[in-house]
Amino acid sequence: MQFELTKQYLADLRKAIEGGNTTFLSQEMEKLHEVDIADILDELNMSEAKFLFSFIEEEKAADVMVELEDDVREKFLAALSSKEIADQVIDNIESDDAADVIAELPDKIKEEVISQIEDPEQASDIVDLLNYEEGTAGGLMAKELIAVNQNWTVMKCLREMRIQAEQMEDVYAVYVVNNNNALLGLLSLNKMLVAPTNSIIDDIFDKEVTSVHTDTSSEEVANIMDKYDLVVLPVVDEDGKLQGRITIDDVVEIIKEEAEKDYQMASGITEDVESSDKVWILSRARLPWLLIGLIGGIFGAKVIGLYEHDIKIYPEMAFFIPLIAAMGGNVGVQSSAIIVQGLANNTLGMESIFTKLVKELGVALINGIICSVLILGYNLFFSDSMALSMTVSVALLSVIIIAGLFGTLVPLLLNKYDIDAALATGPFITTINDILGLAVYFLIGRLMYLYF
Amino acid sequence: MQFELTKQYLADLRKAIEGGNTTFLSQEMEKLHEVDIADILDELNMSEAKFLFSFIEEEKAADVMVELEDDVREKFLAALSSKEIADQVIDNIESDDAADVIAELPDKIKEEVISQIEDPEQASDIVDLLNYEEGTAGGLMAKELIAVNQNWTVMKCLREMRIQAEQMEDVYAVYVVNNNNALLGLLSLNKMLVAPTNSIIDDIFDKEVTSVHTDTSSEEVANIMDKYDLVVLPVVDEDGKLQGRITIDDVVEIIKEEAEKDYQMASGITEDVESSDKVWILSRARLPWLLIGLIGGIFGAKVIGLYEHDIKIYPEMAFFIPLIAAMGGNVGVQSSAIIVQGLANNTLGMESIFTKLVKELGVALINGIICSVLILGYNLFFSDSMALSMTVSVALLSVIIIAGLFGTLVPLLLNKYDIDAALATGPFITTINDILGLAVYFLIGRLMYLYF
């Protein structure tokens, strides 16, 4: 039922392009969804892509353009004149996409394209949208919406809505405004369908409406839409005047990016990269964590170096270095990941930092004791050094507790000082936990060998 | 503008509950959004919560019930008779939520509640929904939708829609069906507003409609809605008959959960837990990785144990054990995280496994050489053993390459055999990379000390 882009299909298309099988190409371009066409164009080389593009009907072609990857779109746009961009692309897409497309153009072309837009209202909407910063509600919103005056009748509403609706693809909500265009509430479509046509809007609209300011951050927009299950969210300026609306599809991307950012940070990747990016971009995104790991490793070597003499006498102390270091890192990552996710989802609840630490102490004690007893059993059975057996178990328990408390405390503190708590799940803390773990291990080792 | 639940506000509410300040309580319950009220009730103790609940108007109270945490809702429902559940809760919420609420009830009560539902159509809708498995489109969908016949006029449509709309909260789409209730397409609201009232639907509706089957998995539903930017998605049975619709707000949760699942797996947490869960649940979710880490540590100890004699002579070999182990783990996690995210987002593109490995080799060589040269510089300067300096650098480069290739290959292979690739970012691979890294390090060490 769903289209899936396969190698076979791409090969078929290429053959049709080469052989000039125009019937097949037009058929396919008519049948496929614009998102799938964009995926195909992203895979083809530029001359194939341009040839195929010519078979797409104009309105759909504009939608395809919006869905292309940035660098492919850039090449397509470079081949068009400013007038063509204005007439064939901008005129056929919604204002938020239009502003995004224009924002990517070189400054000179930008102005040319805007001056070529025929509808002055559309041009001024786009200029308006270009003024908002990226990452704000203003930068996310579109201008297309249906607004009705509180004093209108349902009949007048329907008439006005017909006019406004002609310029829109989808109608998600009808906003009610006063004479100053200030947002008052929502008119649900079913209320309007059910009410007598001479009812006044003021008597039937819903005054409870959630809105955001043009300068609300996109993360907050995403949180609000997610929390209140909103499909569309109106945006107002500082005077409460209705400026635009944000639909959920644009916000789903932000929600996903937020979740992925935390994941990438936890995996030691510092930029938003994809496996299809160039080798040097991937390398650059990954090198910072490796360098921190390297510095951590050097400090680790320094810590162990302090005990060089002990290792010469008791080389078995070295055996469990990886175990202690790894367990410290693991526990630290676990406990901070739980806090970071709780912060991202607002599910941390009302517990104080102290309560959280006590709780983490409980978790660390349970898991620490289980692990320590298991490794003690193993060592008592397979190792002939009582001192080593005791050292590993006591050090393991201590490391699990320290790393757990540390992993809980650091993201909470970072968050308190408005620093991204996800930093705590990344390189920095893992490395510190490694080093702390080694210090504890060798210190306990020296004490144990003195007494056993 | 947005409500934020603070300790101060909770304290004020508690005081009002204790003091019986009913005016304040009713006012607040009327003002607040049902999601925020649910958050408040989740924080109060049961007798406070029940008292506060009594100030919420019935229809809103039902919505609050849907938003409560599972265990809190369970307690609320336990205090109601089956008739009260049917009349006060089920009758006031949409069919998908109603089915979810009923599914949580004990079997006996479940049947009682269903038999108490007054509207037979509503009862049969809910029974129908209860039959679909969780995690499928059928389990996600709601029955409330507006469907019009292809042979109707716009006028008849508007009349029928009024009747259907009365039972619905929001209208997102109007579906067009034939006499057998098979889904044919969509009628956009603006087309209907613009068309003359005597037009036949068949002439104005849009035949391009994306739909899913009742047994499509929720992950695929989420992918489709995300990919095609859909706000609502119709669900059909195997005969193409319209069965229900899924709205994006239910799917946002799935998209988030998918992203979070990968993150939790990468952080070594095996269940979906929150920081507010009980200590033993948190311990249980975290113990498996620790046990795998423990076993890995024991194998690591075995590998190092093979070189006990070397360590006695060259104890400095032990210094860099954490560095080698950590770097192997880090590189492995990075490379597999990029693959796992690519799989989740369908952005891996058309490259073959071989191409990906060659690319990863490039990344590993760049980052490996940079790290190896840095650590060589450090060691040449601060260490007096040429053999150690060479060992650490050569081993580090080898480990980065091996871990990078391994971290790329394993998730791709897991995915090929339909196993969740996110496993590869978790405990198993990190641990294997640690052990492999140690083996390489000591092997190279022995060779180096022979020749330098």
Domain containing residue A156: CATH number: 3.10.580.10
Nearest C-alpha neighbor of A251 from the set A232, A274, A238: A232
In this structure, the number of other CB atoms found within 10 A of the CB of residue A37 comes to: 24
Question: DSSP per residue over B181-211, as a string?
Answer: -BEEEEE-HHHHHHS-TT-BHHHH-B-----
Q: Do B162 and A194 touch (CB under 8 A)?
A: yes
Residues 243-302 (A) with a CB less than 8 A from some CB of B: 247-249, 252, 255-256, 259-260, 262-264, 266-269, 273-276, 279-280, 282-283, 286-287, 289-291, 293-294, 296-298, 300-302
Q: Would A140 be classed as within a structural domain?
A: no
The answer to whether B185 touches B146, Cβ cutoff 8 Å, is no
Q: Do A341 and B248 touch (CB under 8 A)?
A: no
Q: Would A209 be classed as within a structural domain?
A: yes
Q: Do B171 and A189 touch (CB under 8 A)?
A: yes
CA distance B112 to chain A (A): 31
Show residues of chain B in contact with A337, CB under 8 Å: 263-264, 267-269
Residues B372 and B401 placed together within one structural domain of the fold: yes
Q: Give percent of chain A with pLDDT exceeding 90.
A: 53
The answer to whether B254 touches B222, Cβ cutoff 8 Å, is yes
The residue among B406 and A425 whose pLDDT is bigger is B406
**Residue to test with chain A: of B33, B36, B314, B321, most A Cβ within 10 A:** B321
The residue among B350 and B410 whose pLDDT is bigger is B410
Put simply, whether B11 touches A (Cβ < 8 Å) is no
Residues B289 and B411 placed together within one structural domain of the fold: yes
Q: What is the pLDDT of residue A264?
A: 83
Q: What is the pLDDT of residue B1?
A: 52
Q: Which of A133, A154, A175 is the last residue of a domain?
A: A133
Map residue B248 onto helix, strand or coil. helix
Residues B335 and B364 placed together within one structural domain of the fold: yes
Q: Where are the beta strands (DSSP E) in A47-145?
A: none
Q: Would B252 be classed as within a structural domain?
A: no
CA distance B37 to chain A (A): 12
Residues B182 and B303 placed together within one structural domain of the fold: no
CA distance B187 to chain A (A): 11
Confidence at B168, pLDDT banded by 50, 70, 90: low
Token pair listed for A145: 């919406």
**Residue to test with chain B: of A72, A262, A330, A340, most B Cβ within 10 A:** A330
Residues B349 and B421 placed together within one structural domain of the fold: yes
Q: Would B189 be classed as within a structural domain?
A: yes
The answer to whether A173 touches A246, Cβ cutoff 8 Å, is no
The answer to whether B57 touches B107, Cβ cutoff 8 Å, is no
pLDDT exceeds cutoff 90 at A235? yes
* Separation of alpha carbons B221 and B227, rounded Å: 10
* Separation of alpha carbons A163 and A378, rounded Å: 79
State the DSSP code for A271.
S
Q: Do B318 and A320 touch (CB under 8 A)?
A: no
Going from the C-alpha of A231 to that of each of A225, A234, A309, B250, B385, the distances in angstroms are 7, 10, 67, 11, 66
Q: Do A375 and B298 touch (CB under 8 A)?
A: yes
Question: DSSP per residue over B273-322, as a string?
Answer: --TTS-HHHHHHHHHHHHHHHHHHHHHHHHHHHTTHHHHHH-GGGGGGHH
Q: What is the pLDDT of residue B169?
A: 63
Q: Would B257 be classed as within a structural domain?
A: no
Q: What is the pLDDT of residue B289?
A: 86
Residues 184-223 (B) with a CB less than 8 A from some CB of A: 188-190, 193-194, 208, 210-213, 220
Residues A388 and A296 placed together within one structural domain of the fold: yes
Q: Do B334 and A267 touch (CB under 8 A)?
A: yes
Domain that holds residue B427: 279-451
The residue among A146 and A395 whose pLDDT is bigger is A395
* Separation of alpha carbons A184 and A206, rounded Å: 9
Q: Would B171 be classed as within a structural domain?
A: yes
Domain count, chain B: 3
Residues B324 and B443 placed together within one structural domain of the fold: yes
pLDDT exceeds cutoff 80 at A41? yes
Residues A157 and A30 placed together within one structural domain of the fold: no
Going from the C-alpha of A324 to that of each of A379, A391, A401, B435, the distances in angstroms are 14, 11, 12, 14
Q: Give percent of chain B with pLDDT exceeding 70.
A: 98
State pLDDT tens for residues B111-126: 999 999 999 989 999 9
pLDDT exceeds cutoff 80 at B368? yes
CATH code of residue A402? 1.10.357.20
Residues B354 and B384 placed together within one structural domain of the fold: yes
Q: What is chain A's mean pLDDT, rounded?
A: 89
Residues A201-229, mean pLDDT to the nearest whole number: 91
Residues A427 and A386 placed together within one structural domain of the fold: yes
The three-point CA angle A171-A177-A182 to 5° equals: 120
Nearest-CB residue to A290 (from B276, B286, B327): B327
Q: Do B231 and A247 touch (CB under 8 A)?
A: yes
Residues B196-207, mean pLDDT to the nearest whole number: 89
State pLDDT tens for residues B48-70: 999 999 999 998 999 999 999 88
Q: What is the pLDDT of residue A196?
A: 85
State pLDDT tens for residues B330-352: 898 889 888 888 888 777 767 78
Contacts of A333 (CB under 8 A, 6+ apart): A266, A407, A425, A429, A430, B267, B268
Residues 368-387 (B) with a CB less than 8 A from some CB of A: 370-371, 374-375, 378
Q: Would A171 be classed as within a structural domain?
A: yes
**Residue to test with chain A: of B247, B363, B434, most A Cβ within 10 A:** B363
State pLDDT tens for residues A134-189: 899 999 999 988 899 999 998 888 888 777 766 666 677 889 999 999 999 998 77
* Separation of alpha carbons B152 and B135, rounded Å: 36
Residues 142-181 (A) with a CB less than 8 A from some CB of B: 158, 161-162, 165-166, 168-172
CATH code of residue B22? 1.25.60.10
* Separation of alpha carbons B47 and B36, rounded Å: 19
Residues B159 and B242 placed together within one structural domain of the fold: yes
Q: Would B258 be classed as within a structural domain?
A: no
Residues A293 and A359 placed together within one structural domain of the fold: yes
Question: DSSP per residue over B2-18, as a string?
Answer: -----HHHHHHHHHHHH
Q: What is the pLDDT of residue A239?
A: 93
Nearest-CB residue to B319 (from A2, A301, A434): A301
State pLDDT tens for residues A62-106: 999 999 988 899 999 998 899 999 999 999 999 999 999 999 999
Nearest C-alpha neighbor of A59 from the set A107, A85, A93, A18: A93
Q: What is chain B's mean pLDDT, rounded?
A: 89
Q: Which of B102, B131, B160 is the last residue of a domain?
A: B131
The three-point CA angle B72-B74-B79 to 5° equals: 105
Q: Do A326 and B293 touch (CB under 8 A)?
A: yes
Q: What is the pLDDT of residue A168?
A: 66
Confidence at B167, pLDDT banded by 50, 70, 90: low
Q: Which of B207, B223, B247 is the last residue of a domain?
A: B247
Show residues of chain B in contact with A171, CB under 8 Å: 188-190
- ipTM for this model: 0.80
